[in-house]
């Protein structure tokens, strides 16, 4: 796979959490199992430099993945018809780990990332892809009329790539459209962003 396939270097980082989840799946006492990540990594020729986030990053990826998975599973027990809005979906495999037959999911990412996502995931009546930047406020129009009470927004490994003003703008868009939604995101200390 060529590094030139993405318009931004940030897009290349989508392989790091995929590789971490795949490697964890192969461990005996794993924190989580992600067989779809293993499958994708085996089908993709990715340079080692694109999947090595370092030991500390790996622990952070596994922790946030497990926490968000568990939180969403808890929500689905009470609201099985929830709608996940996954901002910066990349090659996130959550929809293959959390399946209840009723959950709807919108997967948003940059226009150069969604074609890669389509290689490994199929759109259907429950899963739709949106090829837009999270900063392009028109993406919310592609959701149609959905009940904000049932919305679960995920911004995993996303917000750290934006300036503070852009993060505020993202939150303003979300709170205006989904005032009562659940939202899960990770925060990274400025030291690590540098």
Distance CA 153, CA 174 (A): 9
| Domain of residue 55, CATH code | 3.40.50.150
- Beta strand 83-87 with 127-131 is unpaired
For 115-163, write each residue's pLDDT tens digit. Answer: 999 999 999 999 999 999 999 999 999 988 876 778 999 999 899 889 9
Out of 10-19, 26-35, 63-72, 120-129, least confident range: 10-19
Q: Among the residues of 45-155, which ranges form H helices? A: 55-78, 94-97, 114-120
For 93-126, write each residue's pLDDT tens digit. Answer: 998 988 788 889 999 999 999 999 999 999 999 9
Distance CA 72, CA 86 (A): 12
Between residues 33 and 46, the one the model is more confident about: 33
Considering its fold, how many domains does the chain have in total?
Answer: 1
Rounded to two decimals, the pTM is 0.87
Mean per-residue pLDDT of the chain? 86
Name the percent of the chain lying above pLDDT 70. 85
Name the residue range of residue 114's domain: 3-193
Residue 82 vs residues 75, 106, 125, 172: alpha-carbon distances, Å: 8, 11, 14, 22
């Amino acid at each position: 796979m060529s590094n030139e396939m993405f318009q931004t270097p940030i897009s290349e980082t989508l392989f790091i959490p995929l590789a971490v989840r795949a490697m964890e799946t192969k461990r005996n006492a794993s924190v989580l199992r992600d067989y779809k990540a293993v499958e994708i990594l085996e089908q993709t020729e990715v340079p080692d430099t694109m999947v090595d986030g370092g030991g500390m990053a790996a622990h952070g990826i596994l922790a946030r993945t497990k926490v968000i998975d568990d939180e969403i599973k808890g929500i689905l027990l009470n609201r099985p018809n929830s709608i996940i809005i996954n901002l910066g979906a990349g090659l996130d495999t959550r929809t293959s780990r959390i399946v209840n037959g009723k959950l709807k999911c919108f997967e948003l990412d940059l226009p150069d990332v969604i074609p890669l996502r389509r290689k490994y995931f199929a759109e259907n009546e429950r899963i739709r892809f949106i090829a837009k930047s999270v900063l392009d406020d028109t993406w919310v129009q592609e959701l149609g009329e959905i009940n904000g009470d049932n919305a679960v927004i995920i911004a995993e490994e996303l917000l750290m790539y934006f300036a503070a003003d852009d993060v505020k703008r993202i939150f303003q868009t979300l709170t205006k459209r989904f005032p009562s939604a659940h939202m899960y995101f990770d925060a990274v200390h400025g030291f690590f962003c540098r």
